[in-house]
Every structure is written in structure tokens, then in C-alpha cells.
Amino acid sequence: MTIDDRPPGIGTGDDAPSAVPDLAAVRAQIDGIDREIQSLIAERAQWARQVGRAKGPLAAAVDYYRPEREAQVLRRVVDRNQGPLSDEVLVRLFREIMSACLAQQEPLKVGYLGPEGTFSQQAVHRHFGHSARGIPLASVEEVFDEVASGTADFGVVPVENSGQGTIQSTLDLFLTSPLMICGEVELRVHQYLLSRTGRLADIERVYSHGLSLAQCRNWLRQHLATAEKHPVASNAEGVRRARNADDAAAIAGENAAHVYGMQVVAGPIEDRDDNTTRFLVIGRAAFPPSGNDRTSLLVFIRDQPGALYSILDPLARRGISMNRIESRPAHGGLWQYAFFIEVSGHAEESPLRDALDELNAFAGDVRVLGSFPVAVP
């Protein structure tokens, strides 16, 4: 269908009333477009195979995956978008196409905090698409272990929430892990109260991850003040426990209700409308710049006056934006601290590369945990 074939008001900016279109003709146009879309997707899949052949015989799917290239493709999708579909919808569609094309070689194996139905699983699908094979694991530490051993190609782990702040236990794992950060996912989190009966009056116990309980504290105080609150390893684990009793409930995502056959009692029940959790994608290798990147650093400073200033000054003088800084006790000795610092830019490119050279002269140790593309909406 050419531009001249478009019905009035479609892609023309013409909002004036037009004649009622013939339904059969409209459906025929849609059927034709669907055939073109399907043909182009098949053609893209063939060219994706050619990319694999051009790279030569590699060991596994992880060797074909390039997050910087994927981010560039998705940014161009956003730049081209003129509606009526939102950027988020188009990004999701293109990500699924790329996920399916990559899976022709072999599906990526991605570890996450399970069981099935957690927000971590949603983050896996958001970043890697549904063609990746998710591996539910019992803890964030186990996600690190499975990626480090090669059982999983990548892992997705929560690192901070807009309302509750940094998840310190995740940061602590980077102190001793050799893994690299190679991506980030920002996920709007909507919490729902789920139970077997669907009746609020039946509930005497509520199970959920501690962070989810905290995100819904005010709602719980108002509606279930006397109910027992039980923190568990994950939201999905809470649902699995609650489904065995009429007087129990769980807080989890709405998807968990479908997975475990529960009823929605209320929701969304989070206290903040902008409730967002940020996840990190971890892997075993570093990746090249994408053009809009962020870098995570782990800096061990010497115990001397002005040490922290000496770390931050090379960044400030070069106009490098610092997104966050967190201090954690280092495992090397008593009262020694490591700083997690997140800055704009890629470690292989100036001015950040020059700043890192200068940092090494002041710090006891500087580790680049990873440079990765900024999350695409």
C-alpha cells in the first residue's frame, strides 16, 4: 500500500471527518499488509542467519548475541516512530523479532530469581524476548553462580527500587564475583494482592518478598493491619505458599495469578504510582560501545584524607555525569570500604577512559564492573 492508497486521516495528519470505509476493503488491505509483514520477518530471519555465518563457527548462542547492536537497532525504531503505536509497544515488537531470529542459532539461557511468575522473569522477557530460555533459580547468589559456571549465558538480578533504594545484597555479590554488567532493565512494578478465595475478609497471613511488603506498607496498614506479614525469598514463592490455604494471601505481579491459579483480591496496591525496579544483566564478557552507555565502577580507596574527593575530581573535571554512588564494607579488612559508582559513558571511550587512567593513580583498586547500553524504553 503506497502513501496515496492510505485511507483519509491515516498518516496524513488529516483529522477531518471522512466517509465510512468499506469494511471488506479495509480487511483486505490489512490482510495484504499482514502478508508483507510476514514475508519481511522471514527475510529478516534469513539475513540473521547470514550474520551467524559471517561470524564463523562459534561455540554457542551467547557468542552471537551483541547487546550494543540490539540497543542501536531499538533506538532507531524509537527515532523512526511517528505513531500511532507508542515507542514502548514498537520496541517490544522488534525485541521479540530479534529474539526469535537469534534463537535460530540456539536460545539464550538466562538465569533469574524464580520461581516462575516473578518480576525478575518479567525483566528477562522485557530484555531478551520470549524466545530466550529462562532458568528460574532459588536466589540471586545462585544466579551469579550459574552464569559464572557457564550453565546460564546471562543473568538478570534486581539492584534498586525507586521507593526502597538499593538492594545491598546484590551489590555485595559484585565484591567477589568476576562477572560483568552488560545491560540494564527498568520495569514498572505493579503489586497485586492474590488469594485462593478472592475475599479480603478471609486473609489472616500475607506472604511476599520483603521489598514488596515494604512497597505496599501503607496499603497493608490500612486494609490488613492485623494480618501476619511473612517475608519469603520471592513473590512467586509467596504465591505458592498462599495457594494452599483459604486464610492466606500473597503480594505479587498480576501474571502470578494466572500462573498459579489465584484470584486477584485487590490491585495495584503499591504505595507509589511510579514504583519501578531496576535490574542488571550480568554475563562473562565485556561488550563494545553502543553510542549511549553507562559504566559501573567498583573503587577501593586508600585510607587517607581527601581520598573520596580524589576519586570524584577526575570525573567532575571532564564533565562526566555520575548517576549514583554507594559505599559498602570491603571484604579485605575491618573498616575498609568499596564504592560502587555509576557514570555516563563507556570505559573504552574518552573522556571516561582518560578519567579511569587518572583514578588508578589514587585508588587502591579500580574495577570496571561493566559498560552497557542505557535501557531503551
C-alpha–C-alpha distance, residues 272 and 300, integer Å: 35
Q: Which of 53, 83, 102 is the last residue of a domain?
A: 102
Structure confidence at residue 185 (pLDDT) = 96
Residue 174 lies in a domain: no
**Grid cell at residue 31:** 490482510
Residue 244 shares a structural domain with residue 322: no
Q: Which range among 40-49, 59-68, 316-325 shows the weakest confidence by mean pLDDT? A: 59-68
CATH number for the domain including 262?
3.40.190.10
Q: Which of 266, 294, 328 is the last residue of a domain?
A: 266
**Grid cell at residue 19:** 466517509
Q: Which of 266, 294, 310 is the last residue of a domain?
A: 266
Residue 300 lies in a domain: yes
Model's pTM, two decimal places?
A: 0.87
Contact 197, 263 (CB under 8 A): yes
Structure confidence at residue 89 (pLDDT) = 96
CA distances 168 to 31, 157, 211, Å, are 52, 12, 12
Residue 365 shares a structural domain with residue 311: yes
Model confidence over 241-251: pLDDT tens digits?
999 999 999 99
| DSSP code for 57 | S
Residue 262 shares a structural domain with residue 289: no
Q: What share of the chain is helix, strand, coil (3-state, %, to 5)?
A: 40, 25, 35
How many domains would you assign to the chain?
A: 3
Residue 214 lies in a domain: yes
Residue 111 lies in a domain: no
| DSSP code for 335 | T
Cα dihedral value 357, 363, 365, 366, nearest 10: -50
Residue 73 lies in a domain: yes
Asked if pLDDT for residue 327 goes beyond 80, the answer is yes
C-alpha–C-alpha distance, residues 323 and 302, integer Å: 23
| Confidence class for position 337, pLDDT limits 50, 70, 90 | confident
Model confidence over 285-298: pLDDT tens digits?
999 999 999 999 99
Residue 262 shares a structural domain with residue 313: no
Residue 352 shares a structural domain with residue 299: yes
| Residues spanned by the domain of 65 | 21-102
Residue 37 shares a structural domain with residue 90: yes
Residue 119 lies in a domain: no
| Confidence class for position 54, pLDDT limits 50, 70, 90 | confident
| Confidence class for position 3, pLDDT limits 50, 70, 90 | very low
Residue 358 shares a structural domain with residue 296: yes
Asked if pLDDT for residue 335 goes beyond 60, the answer is yes
> For all residues of the chain together, what is the average pLDDT?
90
